[in-house]
Structure 1
C-alpha cells in the first residue's frame, strides 16, 4: 500500500512537471512570434514624419500626418488604332498601335474624349516621323511611348490647362 501511495505521488508530480513544461513552451512560442512581428515591423520602416508635418494640428488638437492617397487608375482606350506607313529601302512597311491612356482624374476623361481627334493627329505625326529600324527594338518602343506621353500632355496642357494623362500604354504594337 505504501508503494501505491508513492506511485500516485510520483504521477502527480510528473503531471505537474509536464503541465509546467507545456506552459513554458507556449509562453516561449508567443514571445518568439511577438519578437518576429516586432522585428518585421521595424524592418518595414514606416516613413518618418517630417518636421513640417509634425507641426500640423488637427481640429481636435492632435498631430496629423497627411498622406495623399492615390486615386484608382482610369484607362481610356483610343479608337481607332493608329496605323502608320513607312518606306524602308523601297518597301512599304506598316506600324499598327493600339493605345490606352491612363489618368486618375475622372474629369479628365471628358477632356480626353473632347480632344481625341487632336490627340490622334499629334500621335500620327509623331509616329510617322520615327525610324522603322529603331522601333523594332524594345528601347525604341519605350522611347516612342515616352514621346507619346509628352506629346499628349503637351496638347492637353494647351487645350485644357492641365496635362491630365499619367501614362500612355501600347496595348497592341504590330510592325510588318
Structure 2
C-alpha cells in the first residue's frame, strides 16, 4: 500500500510539473534577413572598410513573422544606416559590436512599434559578423 501511495504521489508531481512547464513554454520564432547585409563603414585608413552580417530577429509569437517580413526593407535600411555610421574601432571590437547590436535592436523595435503598434522583436542576433 505504501508503494502504491508513493507511486501515485510521484505521478501527481510529474503531471503537475509537466502541466506547469507547458504553461511556461513560449513559442519563439526567428526571421532572418536574406541576403546577408553588406555595407561600408567609416575606416581609419584610406581604403574603405566593409562589414558583412547575418541578422536574425527573435519574435515571441510566430504570427508576428508576417509583420516583420512585410517591413523587411524598412528594417534592413535602418540596420545598413546604423552600420554605415560606425567607426572602424567600434566595428572591430567586441564591446563595439555589442553596442551596434543593441542599437539595431532598439531601432528595429521602435520602427516596428511605429508600423504595427507594438514592439515585436524580443532579441536581435548577429549570427555572422565579418569585417575588413
Which residue among 124, 127, 130 is the counterpart of 1:171?
127
- Per the normalisation by structure 1, the TM-score is 0.59
The match for 1:69 is: 24
String of CA shifts for 1:22-59, please: whole Å, max 9, x gaps: xxxxxxxxxxxxxxxxxxxxxxxxxxxxxxxxxxxxxx
Structure 1 residue 70 displacement after superposition: 4.1
Match of 2:47 in 1: 91
Render the CA deviation track for 1:75-123: whole Å, top value 9, x for unaligned. Answer: 1111111111135221111100110010111221010010100100111
Q: d(CA) in 2 for partners of 1:86 and 1:166? A: 27
Match of 1:32 in 2: none
SS at match of 1:80: coil
Q: Provide the rounded CA distance (Å) in 2 between the counterparts of 1:85 and 1:135.
A: 11
| CA apart distance, 1:73 | 2.0
Q: CA RMSD in A?
A: 1.7
1:153 pairs with 104, 109, 112, which one?
A: 109
User: Does the alignment pair 1:109 with 2:38?
Assistant: no
Q: Can you give the 5+ residue segments of structure 1 that lack an aligned partner in the other structure?
A: 1-67
Where 2:118 maps in the other structure, the secondary structure is coil
Alpha-carbon distance in structure 2 between the residues aligned to 1:109 and 1:83: 23
Q: Residues 87 and 156 of structure 1: is their aligned pair in 2 closer, same or farther, counting only changes over 3 Å?
A: closer
Mapping 1:8-47, distance limit 5 Å: none
Bigger RCO (CA 8 Å, 6+ sep): 2
Equivalent residue, structure 2, for 1:80: 35
Structure 1 segments (4+ residues) deviating >4 Å = none
